[in-house]
Amino acid sequence: MAVNEATVDETTLIPALQKELKDKPDFLVIIRADQGINYGMVEKVMDLAKQAGAQRIAIATQQEQEKMVAAQ
């Protein structure tokens, strides 16, 4: 896991997000996960983001065309 390119784990995710969210109540937290990650982990990260104070959370998706280009 990473927050703005800084590697974090489950214990350091909340403080890292709190630092980013400080003074930015409308900040959008975008969760991007590799295809092999199970949904339970994504859900856990969403819960941790909420605990950190995130009010707006989105899950990034990859467009089909981007997938085709990456495969070439």
Residue 57 has pLDDT above 90, yes or no: yes
19-39 pLDDT tens trace: 999 988 789 999 988 888 888
Per-residue pLDDT at 36:
85
Alpha-carbon span 25 to 4, nearest angstrom: 17
When pLDDT is cut at 50, 70 and 90, the band that residue 44 belongs to is: very high
Alpha-carbon span 33 to 59, nearest angstrom: 8
Percent of the chain with pLDDT over 90: 53
Q: Structure pTM?
A: 0.77
Crossing angle of helices 39-51 and 10-21, in 10° steps, is: 50
